Structure 1
Amino acid sequence: MSYVLPTLTKKQEVDSFIRSTIDKVLVLRFGRSSDSACLLLDDVLAKTAREVSKFATVALVDTDSEEIQVYVRYFDIALIPSTIFFFNAHHMKMDSGTADHTKWVGAFQQKQDFIDVVEAIFRGAMKGKMIVNCPLPPERIPKYQLLYKDV
């Protein structure tokens, strides 16, 4: 059973999603549908969107869109795919042992990894935290500086 994820191409659409997603984690995947790593991640996101729907909303953001560049610059998205998390319009950060706590760079290796990360962010957000620890073991966290250079 496939679950179609909304694709946002305008700044106003992203702003609206951020503002209107209340008491759920908003998962925004920044990337392009022509990129193989993005397609891998999109597959995981689409397959898990229904499972996490009680506590998360998932949307794709097209980094090729001119209007989206303001977010690409703001979140310093140099590598794709990059996934950014929000809760009640607040940017949620995650310490995954990498230098960048603002976003998840790369694809999730399996569906359960994505579910675990979103659950950890949701639980932390419900406790008022703005940063949570990554629940995944280090070997399942992408080493993006080597693998995900944008060509």
Structure 2
Amino acid sequence: MGSIVLPHLKTGWHVDQAIMSEEERLVVIRFGQSAQKECMKQDEALYKIAERVKNFAVIYLCDIDEVPDFNAMYELYDVSAVMFFFRNKHMMCDFGTGNNNKMNWVLEDKQELIDIIETIYRGAKKGRGLVISPKDYSTRHRY
């Protein structure tokens, strides 16, 4: 099985193109500070599942220091924030954390990541703009 290298979006234009050009799959973008350890952990987890979700999702990485274009609009202040888009529309997900715009903590559990991406994809296909996460993360511990 050939490994997938997660593409880095180097400019705001590339981010827009990634979001706009995908018609069938969910676009997953990890915005963050690529050099930070927490961000690297998230990238590693996303890299490990990329092959398994490739039929319904495409994953990109974007460094918010390199590409600050969306920082204000999407409130990208976290070391790592994963956002979801479908057919050029921002998909919201209720994780139980009070932030429905993005997943702004590191989730290393591969199966949980796959479940979230799959749930958002299914909701998006049904025309929903907000989906409920398969798991409630409100009691999640911060390290």
Distance in 1 between residues matched to 2:81 and 2:96, nearest whole Å: 16
Task: State the TM-score, normalized to the length of structure 2.
Answer: 0.93
- Structure 1 residue 98, shift from structure 2 partner: 1.2
Give 1:28 deviation, angstroms. 0.3
The Cα of 1:57 is off from its aligned counterpart by 0.3
What TM-score comes out, normalization by structure 1 length? 0.88
Closer, same or farther: CA 109–116 of 1 in aligned 2, 3 Å = same
CA contact (8 A) 1:106 1:142 kept: no
- The equivalent of 2:102 in structure 1 is 103
Q: How far apart are residue 51 of structure 1 and its match?
A: 0.4
Amino acid at match of 1:101: N
2:21 aligns to what? 20
Greater helix fraction, Structure 1 or Structure 2: 1
For residue 107 of structure 2, give the secondary structure of its aligned residue in structure 1.
Answer: coil
Residue 127 of structure 2 corresponds to residue 124 of structure 1: no
Distance 1:51 1:22, change over 3 A: same
Please name the residue that 1:82 is paired with. Answer: 81
Aligned to 1:4: 5
Look up the match of 2:42: 41
CA RMSD of aligned residues (A): 1.6
Partner of 1:115: 114
**1:82-129 deviation digits (Å, cap 9, x = unpaired):** 001000010000001112100001111311011000000011011110
Q: Which runs of 5+ in 2 are unaligned?
A: none
| Percent of pairs with identical residues | 33
Structure 1 stretches of 4+ moved >6 Å: none
